[in-house]
Structure 1
Amino acid sequence: MSGGTVVVTGANGTLGLAFIASALKDFPIHHLILTVRNPSQKDINTAKLHALLSKIPDARYTIHTLDLSTLAAVRTFATLITTQITNGELPIAAIICNAFAWSLTSGLKFTPDGSMDKTNGRIIGMSSDSHDPGLNALEVFPPAIPADIEELAKPPPDAPRGEVGRGFQRYGVSKLCVVMYTDPALKGITAIALDPGGLPDSRAMSNDTPVAWGILMKYFLNPLQPVLKFAVPTLRKSGAAEKDLVQLGLGEVYRGANGYYIMSKPGKSSADSYDEAKCARLWERSVVWSGIEPAGTVGVMPVLSRSPYMNFRK
């Protein structure tokens, strides 16, 4: 098998770092395109990425700056990737959509914009049980696509003292969107939405979250995870989750896999995720919110379908 390229967003995140370590070890034939918001090694998380890569002298990778909160930056990066695919320089083996950020204690925030292998190619989006009403203990308001879908891009203000509950609801809805994305005009895209499980060693609770959540994660859930996992099997460390992510993204056993996975097994997602009308509406409005021309979708999907490494099928 010849090598391809694996695009990883959020490369300096907890799960991203674990994924990269395993991917370079188990699939050294591939070249990794690693994206980070802050490329400076003064950033503690980017420094961890460079430290990891320095231990693998034969690693094949490039690091790109990509701020996903800015559509202009996303378009620039998409154009770069599209051009390289068109020129035959970049056969995509997998795209790992791992980046995320949230604001809970500080309330609602807006972005500056106001709002593969022919038999192996895969797109992996990260979801979680927070997308399904009633499954996550931190849920206050159930995640759902609002009747006025424009509220996804422009949510109404949070009520006083409701920032955390509404913030976590928005997080859950974002994970629901990962599962729901589909474009009727692009039938046959092989894509996986992965719930990696609860990761108590994640740095997700280190910023803009209630202090109590961070204490619970750091001093209770993380150290006691080896015992708690027997009662809650989905509670596990990032080192275990990355093994599933690597295999789902690159492993032969998951060739042609599609749909929603809970850890390494196919799972059932929420009722909303099976509503084809809502899925189609979500895609249509996302194209509009992103300022993308429908005929091109930034040109990425049509070009990916011509990549010798991508197989699009449903």
Structure 2
Amino acid sequence: MAGSVVLTGANSSLGLHAVEHIFTKYPQHTAILTVRDASDDDVNTKRLREIISQHPNVKASIHQLDLFSLAAVHDFSDTIIQSIMGGKYPPLISIICNAFYWNLFGDPELTADGYDKTMQVNYISQVALVLRLLGGFADVGRIILISSDAHWPGKNPMEKYPPSIPDDLELLVKPAIDDDKYGRGYQRYATSKLALTTWTHALNRYLQKDESLNKLTAIAMNPGNMVDSRALRSNTPQSMHRMQTFVYKPLLFLLRFTYPTLRTAAPAGADVIEVAVSPAYSGEKGFFTLLKNDQSSPESNDEAKQTSLWAQTLVWANINKNNTALQAGVV
């Protein structure tokens, strides 16, 4: 059945290939694409429009969504739900939370909401979006939250300090300043992916308890480490730019013997769409590495941490029983 797919970060390296794949293989679906800057002043948004223009029969729209602002997330969610109810868009079949932020050369930055930028964009705002849009699904559907091998301590060679969920959860949104900008910046990114993965397990548990939503499932997906991603040149030291140019991209074939999930953005984007909408993955949930169901880190599977993080995230994201269709686990 045709439906709507919401994709955040649609003009990212992975996002552009995901859009191309859904237009090519699943053109019956309506693509609701979000970007931080919807103007053509953003060269990546301009490229997104070019991809849409190459597929004149697809149903697609681009929406500006600033994930640094929870008010913007809630306003966007209201607009999409109203558009679905009014018949402008068909009911949702998938939400793909792909938007991303990191800062590997500066101190922690706070949004206007008072949260660390990395944690808000990669986690809190995506959670708010998912919970606000649950009422837009007709019956069955999948929620894909882009994770990373970075969420598991010791699995990514870029790691200097392991990610963890502290007992004092406020440290997630107000991290301390440290002289090691790169090391702590990457730790904030990895921890945001750990939080997202941990929360995904809790979401699945609460969805199963909700009679009206128990045919929805959520997957935290590691799409692989993309050697051609623009992320390696965004808020990163020059050494990473050089590594991408002279090591990662030209030596990908050799590097994959040691790091088999290294790849380019094109297959990563295609795989995300397959997991999101292909009938082959109907009912799947949990954690995926590429196209395979996999185990996430031990900490992400700690049910006590899932429960405490879930409850606190509802507060951070301004979610309550009045603004989400999910009633299980929400106060």
TM-score (norm 1): 0.90
SS of the equivalent of 1:299 reads coil
Does the alignment pair 1:253 with 2:280? yes
Q: Specify whether residues 90 and 133 from structure 1 end up closer, same or farther in structure 2 by C-alpha distance, changes over 3 A only.
A: same
Q: Residues 30 and 90 of structure 2 are in contact (CA less than 8 Å); yes or no, is this contact kept in structure 1?
A: no
The equivalent of 2:321 in structure 1 is: 295
Give distance in 2, aligned partners of 1:170 and 1:114: 16
Q: Specify whether residues 53 and 287 from structure 1 end up closer, same or farther in structure 2 by C-alpha distance, changes over 3 A only.
A: same
The equivalent of 1:52 in structure 2 is: 51
Give distance in 1, aligned partners of 2:112 and 2:12: 22
SS of the equivalent of 1:118 reads strand
Does the alignment pair 1:159 with 2:184? no
Q: CA deviation at 1:199?
A: 0.3
Q: CA deviation at 1:178?
A: 1.5
The equivalent of 2:125 in structure 1 is: none
Q: Residues 5 and 94 of structure 1 are in contact (CA less than 8 Å); yes or no, is this contact kept in structure 2?
A: yes
Q: CA deviation at 1:146?
A: 0.9
Q: Which runs of 5+ in 2 are unaligned?
A: 116-136, 209-213
The equivalent of 2:34 in structure 1 is: 35
Give distance in 1, aligned partners of 2:144 and 2:276: 7
Where do 1:34-183 residues align within 5 Å?
A: 34-87=33-86, 89-115=89-115, 116=137, 118-119=139-140, 121-156=141-176, 158-160=177-179, 162-181=180-199, 182-183=202-203
Counterpart code for 2:55: I
The equivalent of 2:292 in structure 1 is: 265
Does the alignment pair 1:280 with 2:300? no
Q: CA deviation at 1:300?
A: 5.1
SS of the equivalent of 1:165 reads helix
Relative contact order: is structure 1 or structure 2 higher (C-alpha 8 Å, sep ≥ 6)?
1
Q: CA deviation at 1:299?
A: 2.3
Q: Specify whether residues 48 and 96 from structure 1 end up closer, same or farther in structure 2 by C-alpha distance, changes over 3 A only.
A: same
Q: CA deviation at 1:284?
A: 0.8
Counterpart code for 2:146: M
More helix by share: 2
Q: CA deviation at 1:226?
A: 2.9
SS of the equivalent of 1:111 reads coil
Q: Residues 82 and 300 of structure 1 are in contact (CA less than 8 Å); yes or no, is this contact kept in structure 2?
A: no
Q: CA deviation at 1:24?
A: 0.6
The equivalent of 1:208 in structure 2 is: 235
Give distance in 1, aligned partners of 2:155 and 2:275: 24
Residue 266 of structure 2, aligned match among 239, 249, 257: 239
Give distance in 2, aligned partners of 1:212 and 1:282: 35
Give distance in 1, aligned partners of 2:303 and 2:52: 42
TM-score (norm 2): 0.85
Q: CA deviation at 1:266?
A: 1.1
Give distance in 2, aligned partners of 1:27 and 1:123: 17
The equivalent of 1:310 in structure 2 is: none
Does the alignment pair 1:12 with 2:45? no
Q: How many residues align?
A: 297
Counterpart code for 1:295: K
Once the two structures are superposed, residues 95-121 of structure 1 have per-residue CA deviations (whole angstroms, 9 ceiling, x without a partner) of: 0100011111022101111114634x1
Give distance in 2, aligned partners of 1:57 and 1:87: 24
Q: Residues 104 and 186 of structure 2 are in contact (CA less than 8 Å); yes or no, is this contact kept in structure 1?
A: yes
